Structure 1
Amino acid sequence: MSDKEVLEILGTQIALGESATVTFEVAKLHTRNTLDVPIIIERSKKPGPTVLITSGIHGDEINGVEIVRQIIAKGINKPKRGTIICVPIINVFGFLNMDRFFPDGRDLNRVFPGSANGSLASRVANFVMKEIVPHADFVMDFHTGGADRFNAAQIRIVKKDSRLSELAHIFGAPFIFYSENIAKSFRNSCQKAGVPMLLFEGGKSFNIHSTITNTGVNGTKRVLHHLGMLNSKFKVSKPKKETIVINKSKWIRAEFSGMFKANVTINSYVEKHTVLGNITDPYGGFNHFVKAPNSGYIFNVNESPIIHQGDAIFHITTKIKS
């Protein structure tokens, strides 16, 4: 797989030492214009692993797209050995429309491995699993928090996978979050195909956050360096803090609807009963303080100024491993 002298994707042959950008025609629009997904391939003259770097499975997760864009723009994707395949925007429909979903209303990350004869989203998932993933030895997939929920930079992996745990620690995000694979997700399908994946989460939808993008780019460089693939012109920095492993966590949900303001910042460690924020009404007659149910790290904060009863407003760790 990784040592092939000639890699063939969509009929294009890319030999060791060559570069290519091939496009997958997702569909024709109702105007008959074509809609293409660019796939950027860089190969070293020296054989080695093939790493697939993806983002934009959800069209509103711009921060992940920005991370992959920087990886390409800076030349980090030009390996010292092996092959790096970048797909910055998988859900190009959603990206163009600034929408999380496909035009058919489906979440691409819930239809994998897809079907060649299925819905539009299902056909794209099928293409990714049939035409791209089989070439990869390892995947890094970049996501952000949904809507106004701002995620701390984190790597999500399943428990008891020593290889992924090693790579997650090398990536060096502030948190490693143990989470089970979701049925019909890209991560789950890759695992079933025998291709390990690090899933990065950071930031929120419709937003580019420099700290999050720097974490994603620097983490990618560390992993590529560990694999012997990073060009020697790039420096590899150590993480500023040791990664916190989240074994268990819980969502704190709004007890009331109203105007919301958080008092704590992302990545903060708080003690039990600490005031995390408050919910008020527009008329000055109501003020509810949201308190931490336990001591732990806050790794997701809802930044919406208006919330409804039951909305997730904070994600807090309940069990960690340093």
Structure 2
Amino acid sequence: MAELFSSQIIKSSKEGPNGLIIAGIHGDEYEPVLAVMRLIKKLEGRLISGSITLVPVTNRNAYFSGSRVGEDGLDLARTCPGNSNGSITERVAAKISELIKKADFFIDMHTGGNLFEISPLSGYMLHNDPSVLQKQREMAAAFNLPIVWGTSPELEGRTLSVARDGNIPAIYTENGGGAYRTEGVEELVDGCENVLELFGLLPQQKKKKKAMVNIEDDKPGSGHLQVMHPSPDEGVFIAKVGLGDFVKEGDGLGYIVNDKGEKSTQVLAQQSGMVFLKRAVPMAKAGDALAGILPIKK
């Protein structure tokens, strides 16, 4: 049987935490994959304690077809903890879940892939263990992206839900999507190194902190991007807003053009705040996510 994915372990001669950084859960998210590849080369010989396991392409089956999902049609980010005797995605989910359970801390990096553009953010599940929650807050802040977002602990099937169940501090990142961004790779490399410094695997360095917005939202389903502002009809979504725009509840985000060339439905903001998610592929089916808004004041 072909190898599901490969990993690289970099160790220090001194005892310390064992971290895990992964990318390529979805096959159309490229900046995180390149960031982990760069970390493999950059971290060799630099750790002052502990160890780090790096997985650049977790979902090889999806990656080599440039697809979000594998050939079995399953989304790896909804399949954990998986099944070692199941389909290709279920087997990958089982293998990556075992790695997560062995880690002392965990980072899972994403973009919006082909479908979405997403403002740079670090996220985490709101954990019921105060010590785990606090460490996740510190990790997300250390990653040094402009938005820090704590969301519902109830979502299942994720890598982070495996970490949650194991009381392992874990964050995920979203950064870009749509068109490839070279600068996104460096932002992710820097962010990972910052977290390794937090856990003592790298020496502390003074770095300029970005201005951050911190949001925590424990409403059921918060953090589930694929259900935000679902398209009311099938057609082409013409967006009237961009990432970073501030809107009020009821403002127009855009509209759907049906197959007759008519503006069939206006898409209205469901809450006030900042647009952080926008569909990159204009064609949408009914129910597809079109946009996301964070409750951030201007």
Question: In the alignment, which of 62, 66, 76 is matched to residue 98 of structure 1?
Answer: 66
Aligned in 2, Cα 1:284/1:101: closer, same or farther, shift over 3 Å? closer
Q: CA deviation at 1:321?
A: 9.0
1:137 is aligned to 2:104: yes
1:266 is aligned to 2:239: no
Point out 4+ residue stretches in structure 1 off by more than 6 angstroms.
Answer: none
Q: CA deviation at 1:231?
A: 4.9
Amino acid at match of 1:276: L
Tell me if structure 1 keeps the 8 A contact 2:274–2:297: no
- 1:239-269 superposed Cα distances (whole Å, 9 cap, x missing partner): 1x22331526682233444433323221332
Tell me if structure 1 keeps the 8 A contact 2:101–2:162: no
TM-score, length-normalised on structure 2? Answer: 0.80
Structure with greater Cα Rg: 1
1:277 is aligned to 2:247: no
Q: Give me the identity figure in percent.
A: 29
Question: In the alignment, which of 242, 257, 261 is matched to residue 212 of structure 2?
Answer: 242
Once residues 155 and 31 of structure 2 are traced to their aligned partners in structure 1, the CA distance between those partners, rounded to angstroms, is 22
Aligned in 2, Cα 1:280/1:69: closer, same or farther, shift over 3 Å? same
Quote the RMSD (CA, aligned, Å).
3.1
- 1:138-188 superposed Cα distances (whole Å, 9 cap, x missing partner): 010112225412222222212252221222122222223313353232221
- 1:112-148 superposed Cα distances (whole Å, 9 cap, x missing partner): 2233333333333333333x33542101011222541
Q: CA deviation at 1:281?
A: 5.5
Q: CA deviation at 1:226?
A: 1.9
| 1:14 alignment counterpart | none
TM-score, length-normalised on structure 1? Answer: 0.75
| 1:217 alignment counterpart | 189
SS where residue 71 of structure 2 aligns? Answer: coil
Amino acid at match of 1:209: R
| 2:134 alignment counterpart | 162
Tell me if structure 2 keeps the 8 A contact 1:246–1:321: no
Once residues 79 and 143 of structure 1 are traced to their aligned partners in structure 2, the CA distance between those partners, rounded to angstroms, is 25
- 1:198-244 superposed Cα distances (whole Å, 9 cap, x missing partner): 11123236x53235434322322221222222256x763311x2233
Question: In the alignment, which of 143, 152, 166 is matched to residue 179 of structure 1?
Answer: 152
Report how many aligned residue pairs link the two structures.
285
1:200 is aligned to 2:144: no
Once residues 189 and 287 of structure 2 are traced to their aligned partners in structure 1, the CA distance between those partners, rounded to angstroms, is 35
SS where residue 311 of structure 1 aligns? Answer: coil
Amino acid at match of 1:98: G
| 1:20 alignment counterpart | none
| 2:86 alignment counterpart | 118
Can you give the 5+ residue segments of structure 2 that lack an aligned partner in the other structure?
128-132
Aligned in 2, Cα 1:134/1:260: closer, same or farther, shift over 3 Å? closer
Tell me if structure 2 keeps the 8 A contact 1:71–1:77: no
Can you give the 5+ residue segments of structure 1 that lack an aligned partner in the other structure?
1-26, 29-34
Tell me if structure 2 keeps the 8 A contact 1:48–1:81: yes
Once residues 29 and 145 of structure 2 are traced to their aligned partners in structure 1, the CA distance between those partners, rounded to angstroms, is 18
1:299 is aligned to 2:267: no
SS where residue 53 of structure 2 aligns? Answer: strand
Matches within 5 A, 1:223-234: 223-231=195-203
Once residues 274 and 117 of structure 1 are traced to their aligned partners in structure 2, the CA distance between those partners, rounded to angstroms, is 49
Aligned in 2, Cα 1:91/1:284: closer, same or farther, shift over 3 Å? closer
Aligned in 2, Cα 1:267/1:181: closer, same or farther, shift over 3 Å? farther
Aligned in 2, Cα 1:267/1:79: closer, same or farther, shift over 3 Å? farther
- 1:36-85 superposed Cα distances (whole Å, 9 cap, x missing partner): 62211111222211111011122222232122223234438942221111
Amino acid at match of 2:116: R
Tell me if structure 2 keeps the 8 A contact 1:225–1:236: no
Once residues 86 and 148 of structure 1 are traced to their aligned partners in structure 2, the CA distance between those partners, rounded to angstroms, is 26
Once residues 45 and 126 of structure 2 are traced to their aligned partners in structure 1, the CA distance between those partners, rounded to angstroms, is 29
Amino acid at match of 2:104: D
| 1:31 alignment counterpart | none
Question: In the alignment, which of 145, 161, 175 is matched to residue 188 of structure 1?
Answer: 161
